[in-house]
Structure 1
Amino acid sequence: MENLEKGIEVSQLIVKDLQGCISREEKVMLDKWLEESPENREVYHRVQGRVNRDERQGIIRQLNKRAAWERVDRNTKEYKHSILRRCMRYAATIVLPLFVVGIGFYLTRDKEEIHPVAEVVTIAPGVTKAELVLADGHKVILGTETVDSLASEGGVNIVKDGNGVSYLGNKEEGDLAYNIMRVPRGGEFKVRLQDGTLVYMNSETELKYPVRFVGKERRVYLSGEAYFEVQRDTAKPFIVVMNGNEVRVLGTEFNVRSYKDEKCQFTTLVTGKVLLTTSDRKCMELLPNEQGIVDPQGELRKEQVDVALYTAWKDGNFVFRKQCLENIMEIVERWYDLKVTFEDEWCKQVSFSGNVERYDDFSKLAEMLEATGSVKFKIKNNEIYVTKR
């Protein structure tokens, strides 16, 4: 860390010099460093050129992305602080230290290797893909190359619609027939149901639904995670069933998360109003920005939340706020379709905050996580090993 710390110190002097607020003693120190080698002088002029060409904001944006990840909960005595980590932590709210740290990274990038995963392995993000099971059991593999017209069932046409499919037809008579949409790990898909309701399906999710809605309600069955934009119909409530529990709405937007390998179910309301009902008929009404949680014992509770944390995935982003690494890597496993192994249990409880583009390959996420200085990743045969740095 000696080289890195020296880089940070020199970078502070460079920034002061460029701002015209460097003291006489500091100027002597900077001049001495410049005289040490032609490489030092070249670095100084390159940084100076960046500032003169108004590229400071570009540097700050890149570092702010890293700095957001530095909001690490340090609740363990085993964590060892360094000068750079403290700089990065406070950089999220102070612009000047961001620029200082940026120069420090630039000065020392050839002397300390901190992103081994990004340079060795590329793990692609999830893509648009799903499997559709028709009422007669016939299976159709869906993706970006799906044909325009897929099938016709009970007077309803199933057609390609962007990165998903739509069910078109207004006929309500006849028998109730169900389709099943399955999105595997490493996939996502959209379904527009016959009533106009739009469903965004996340990785490792299954949705069972009628080809057309018959009767006095619109009932679907979900395992996994999905975001619903429900078409309003006061005469036919829309009901999402998750392992016996129900979310009942008339017309609204909400996210539900009910994975078999997770202990709790989460319903997060964006607009409108919903009624959450457990399998033993306990009820709770949710308003916008509220999240209803059903625990393993069937108990209900609700919390005020920032809905963006639970819905950003459908818009192509991951948003984390003080989220433990164990939960983050569960999301990584599903979206990137790989296995994660923690070689140090301590790493599971380290928490992070930050925003990441969902369609970046895993190396971008790994780079940000490793930049905090708390963890590192090794990849072998599509399995990620997480260790303490």
Structure 2
Amino acid sequence: MQKNSFQELLDKYLTGRMTEAEWELFRSMLNQPEYREQLEALIDTELEEHTFEGEQDNSILASIQERLQDNIKKRPGTIFSFIKKMAVACTLMVAIAGTAYWWFSLKPVPEKEVTVSSNTAITPGGNKAILQLGNGAKIILDNAKEGTLAQQGQAKIVKQGNGQLSYNVTGNTPDATVYNTISTPRGGQYQLTLSDGTKVWLNASSSLRYPAAFSGKERHVQLTGEGYFEVAKNASMPFHVQAGNVDVEVLGTHFNINSYTDEPSIRTTLLEGSVKVTDGRQASMLKPGQEASVKPEGGIKVQSDVDTEEVIAWKNGIFQFKAADIETVLRQAARWYDIQFEYKGGISARFSGQISRSANAEQLLKILELTGKVQFEIHGKNIVVKQ
């Protein structure tokens, strides 16, 4: 196989024009040392010299760039956050090193390559939630009509389009504090604007308890599961999020909290501003790009230079992972698709890549299988995971 033929296969790979036979050949070439070295050299040399901005030259990297950009224009609903270094690395290094890389949209999925099969598609989640008012009444938000749902004192509860709920305060005189709770099921998500203007995105299988209108010297809410917060600034009224044994205090900032009980720790990731994380025994101040992890037994561990795009990918409609173990990947899939996984044997591989959360579960599982590191058997919503 001449070099130009290898480039032709790369071209077809990136534009989705590969036949099944060409895909077989391409995969076999990626397992050959000479082509593996060629790709490694490409990443070690050319990749460092290009930022995918400004003028393009005639190198293969520029060609890849051009086709990725063309693909984005043709697929406006698809988000490529790996356009820079990780994009090319994840696309090309399918069979390089010990990590299993996967991709989406550009690559064909040959049916005989995978074992995933199902008579009924496992569809992705959507905008689903239940609102419980202070008097105990419940409103199924995905069935409710847009417009005013209820009035609680001076707070008007309004359902907007696209899975959003807002609280509009009509006066300045504080009422007796009334707490509401919004809960998303497995396979659900919702966005909420609190009475102070704070915006909250709730991931699947999560809930938020909050007052219909804030009063007093502090703002307090309680979170289970995962939520992304853009807190309205108010220096005289700090905002507190209670998640398990963790309290996060802010004045106005952007951050994500993952407090699922099946995760090894409660993680607070800061994107903008500053927050104080407390576990009852100690406290830590976070800077943007830092993440505080608190295990059930307590103790705060702070990590710097966190990939915040990966952390909030769920909010942006993407599954995104970098060197994640299979359990981490499938825990997210289980919540979003409302499915269960059963493991048959250990899988040591780690996975990097991304796929839209609007894809069916079968599409995600097929792409994971294409790494050659894992296989799945679907039995309704129960899925067996094996090596």
Partner of 2:254: 253
Contact 1:127 1:188 in 2 (8 A): yes
Closer, same or farther in 2 for the Cα pair 1:172/1:285, shift >3 Å? farther
Partner of 1:296: 296
Larger Rg: 1
The structural deviation recorded for 1:327 is: 1.0
SS in 1 for 2:362: helix
Residue 160 in structure 1 maps to residue 114 in structure 2: no
- For 2:181 and 2:356, locate their aligned partners in 1 and report how far apart those are by CA, in whole Å: 29
SS in 2 for 1:363: helix
Q: Which one has the bigger helix percentage?
A: 1
- For 2:190 and 2:149, locate their aligned partners in 1 and report how far apart those are by CA, in whole Å: 15
Contact 1:183 1:205 in 2 (8 A): yes
SS in 1 for 2:314: helix
The structural deviation recorded for 1:61 is: 5.4
Contact 1:60 1:98 in 2 (8 A): no
Residue 362 in structure 1 maps to residue 361 in structure 2: yes
Contact 1:118 1:367 in 2 (8 A): no
- For 2:157 and 2:325, locate their aligned partners in 1 and report how far apart those are by CA, in whole Å: 41
Closer, same or farther in 2 for the Cα pair 1:100/1:179, shift >3 Å? closer
Across the aligned residues of Structure 1 and Structure 2, the Cα RMSD in angstroms comes to 3.1
Amino acid at match of 2:4: K
Closer, same or farther in 2 for the Cα pair 1:178/1:83, shift >3 Å? same
The structural deviation recorded for 1:262 is: 2.5
SS in 1 for 2:112: coil
Contact 2:271 2:288 in 1 (8 A): yes
The structural deviation recorded for 1:158 is: 0.4
The structural deviation recorded for 1:89 is: 10
- For 1:260 and 1:268, locate their aligned partners in 2 and report how far apart those are by CA, in whole Å: 17
Give the share of equivalent positions with the same residue, in percent. Answer: 35
SS in 1 for 2:158: strand
- For 1:369 and 1:57, locate their aligned partners in 2 and report how far apart those are by CA, in whole Å: 22
Contact 1:132 1:140 in 2 (8 A): yes
Contact 1:125 1:359 in 2 (8 A): yes
Amino acid at match of 2:167: Y
Partner of 2:98: none
Matches within 5 A, 1:1-389: 12-13=1-2, 16=4, 59-60=13-14, 84-85=30-31, 113-117=112-116, 121-143=120-142, 146-162=145-161, 163-169=163-169, 170-280=171-281, 282-304=282-304, 305-344=306-345, 346-347=346-347, 349-388=348-387
Q: Give TM-score, length-normalised by structure 1.
A: 0.74
- For 1:244 and 1:99, locate their aligned partners in 2 and report how far apart those are by CA, in whole Å: 41
Amino acid at match of 1:252: T
- For 2:284 and 2:212, locate their aligned partners in 1 and report how far apart those are by CA, in whole Å: 30
The structural deviation recorded for 1:244 is: 3.2
Closer, same or farther in 2 for the Cα pair 1:60/1:138, shift >3 Å? same
Cα deviation digits, residues 119-153 of structure 1 (max 9, x gap): 75521111100000000000000117533221111
Partner of 1:23: none
- For 1:229 and 1:109, locate their aligned partners in 2 and report how far apart those are by CA, in whole Å: 38
Contact 2:183 2:205 in 1 (8 A): yes
Closer, same or farther in 2 for the Cα pair 1:90/1:252, shift >3 Å? farther
Amino acid at match of 1:263: P
Structure 2 residue ranges without an equivalent (≥5):
18-26, 44-59, 62-90, 96-107
SS in 1 for 2:313: helix
The structural deviation recorded for 1:237 is: 0.5
Structure 1 residue ranges without an equivalent (≥5):
1-11, 20-46, 64-80, 102-107
SS in 2 for 1:251: coil
Contact 1:165 1:190 in 2 (8 A): yes
Cα deviation digits, residues 225-276 of structure 1 (max 9, x gap): 0000000001100100012320000000000011123231000000000000
SS in 1 for 2:129: strand
Closer, same or farther in 2 for the Cα pair 1:154/1:61, shift >3 Å? farther
The structural deviation recorded for 1:82 is: 7.0
Cα deviation digits, residues 202-223 of structure 1 (max 9, x gap): 0010100000001001100001
Closer, same or farther in 2 for the Cα pair 1:159/1:351, shift >3 Å? same
